[in-house]
Amino acid sequence: MEDAQLVQDFLGGNHQAFNKLVGRWQDRIHHFAYRYFASSDDAAEITQKTFIKAYQKLDTLDDASKFGSWLYRIANNLCLDELKRVGRKRATSLEALKEAPQTDVSSSADGRLVRNEALVLLHKALLQIPNDQRMVVIMKEYEGLTFREIAEILDESENTVKSRLYYGLRTLKKTFDSWNINKEVFNYD
């Protein structure tokens, strides 16, 4: 059954239809928020708030076929609200991350340990790029949304979205280089 049908069922009084939507989208919203904050607690909180807000405002959704984009828009706004709420605290933690950690593959005795460390640094690098670029990178790279969908969610032009993605990826590349992380690090299993 399509999301649009479930939305219509819920608006028609079938409460369980909404729980089916929750079951269908919870993982994706949780992953989205987790990648944005790198925190399970924050991700769980954002996910919960997203579905509560969706439950309260679903009757305002104009096009039921765009439920997914609408849900991402709610989650995105909640992430931004959360950033504003604890901005100073997060800014401090991001500052701490800017101290470039060094990973030397050749001198490491245990390649698997290096790979695990690189995975942590990968997330730290993602946290360091500007918020608007990070949002686009996550939506495009992990959520697989089209540029048109991202532009609708963020209420921006497609070219702006592509530009943010370009600069986000370029910044990530520079950070990886400065931390001496390359794709070979991830080949250890």
Binding site for another protein (CB under 8 A): 15, 18-19, 22-23, 26-27, 30-31, 34-35, 40, 43-44, 47-48, 51-52, 55, 118-119, 122-123, 126, 137, 140-142, 146-147, 159, 162-163, 165-166, 169-170, 172-173, 176, 181-183, 186
Residue 64, token pair as written in the block: 């039921």
Residue 158, token pair as written in the block: 């497609």
Between 2 and 184, CB nearer to another protein? 184
CB of residue 173 to another protein, shortest distance in Å: 5
Q: Report whether 67 contacts 59 (CB < 8 A).
A: no
CB of residue 31 to another protein, shortest distance in Å: 5
CA atoms of 126 and 131, how far apart (whole Å): 10
Q: At what angle do helices 131-141 and 158-178 cross, to 10 degrees?
A: 100
Which one-letter amino acid corresponds to residue 53? K
Between 44 and 113, CB nearer to another protein? 44
CB of residue 130 to another protein, shortest distance in Å: 16
CB of residue 164 to another protein, shortest distance in Å: 10
CA nearest neighbour of 150 among 43, 35, 38, 68: 68
Between 41 and 99, CB nearer to another protein? 41
CA atoms of 100 and 87, how far apart (whole Å): 22
CB of residue 143 to another protein, shortest distance in Å: 11
Between 57 and 85, CB nearer to another protein? 57
Query: Hunting for tokens 């101290």 — which residue is that?
Result: 99
